[in-house]
A and B are shown apart, each in its own frame.
Chain A
Amino acid sequence: DIQMTQSPSSLSASVGDRVTFTCRASQGISNYLAWFQQKPGKAPKSLIYAASSLQSGVPSRFSGGGSGTDFTLTISSLQPEDFATYYCQHYNSYPLTFGQGTRLEIK
């Protein structure tokens, strides 16, 4: 199975900051990587697919990058509604697996 490791596990930042999350796959997954945002008590929301493609309706301050084993999710200027937990997930092969999540908190 492919393991997905996210770092950091949690991050404190302020409105307007630029933040970057990292996701590493235990083996190459090409660009078959998605990012999701989840707020407490809510369902996950799709942000990015194919490592860098923005899901329809997602603000352009979100961007993704990477290929192979190392990936990033960047928020260029944090907004109050962005404080949430972020998960990466590969869909290269079965079983599909998620990272453990990065919790983004208000500083």
Chain B
Amino acid sequence: EVQLVESGGGLVQPGGSLRLSCAASGFTFSDHYMDWVRQPPGKGLEWVGRTRSKASSYTTEYAASVKGRFTISRDDSKNSLYLQMNSLKTEDTAVYYCARASRVAGRSYMDVWGKGTTVTVSS
């Protein structure tokens, strides 16, 4: 069974840091691009960023709202995806989802999602 399980969420003060993890199983993790998506309480979905696969040199893309503060990385030997969040702001409060991206016709779309982990930034 294809599965993604996020962890590492919690309460952090503004300006603080947090590292989220996403453990993947049931598929060849190293072949896939991977995404982080977040959802503030009561609001819609916001894409956070993407890491490409080794074949694409593990390059990354970020939303403007997190660029320079968040870093996405992966460890294919551990089938794991990470999101390092620094300089956190209250507006970063959200449920954070990891998602697998699958490639069709030259583009990658999100086809499998984890259940999410909650991050609360508050003093």
Contact = CB atoms under 8 A, between A and B. Distances in A.
SS class, residues of chain A in contact with chain B: loop
> How many B residues are at the interface, by size bracket?
20 to 34
A21 interface: no
Given A43-B116, A98-B45, A101-B44, A50 B63 contact: no
Interface stretch (A11-19, A63-71, A75-83, A85-93): A85-93
Contact of A46 (B44, B62, B113): B113
B55 to A, nearest CB: 18
Nearest to A99: B44
Contacts of B45: 36, 38, 44, 87, 89, 98, 101
B84 interface: no
Interface string B102-121: 00110111111111100000
B61 interface: yes
A43 B113 contact: yes
Given A43-B97, A91-B107, A98 B113 contact: no
Given A32-B107, A49-B104, A50-B104, A44 B113 contact: yes
Interface of B: 35, 37, 44-47, 50, 61-64, 97, 104-105, 107-116
Q: Which 10 A-B pairs have the closest CB atoms?
A: A96-B47, A43-B113, A98-B45, A49-B109, A94-B61, A34-B109, A46-B111, A91-B109, A101-B44, A32-B107
26 contacts: A32-B109, A34-B109, A34-B110, A36-B110, A38-B45, A42-B115, A43-B97, A43-B113, A43-B115, A43-B116, A44-B37, A44-B113, A49-B104, A49-B109, A49-B111, A50-B109, A55-B111, A89-B45, A92-B107, A94-B50, A95-B47, A96-B47, A96-B50, A99-B44, A100-B44, A101-B44
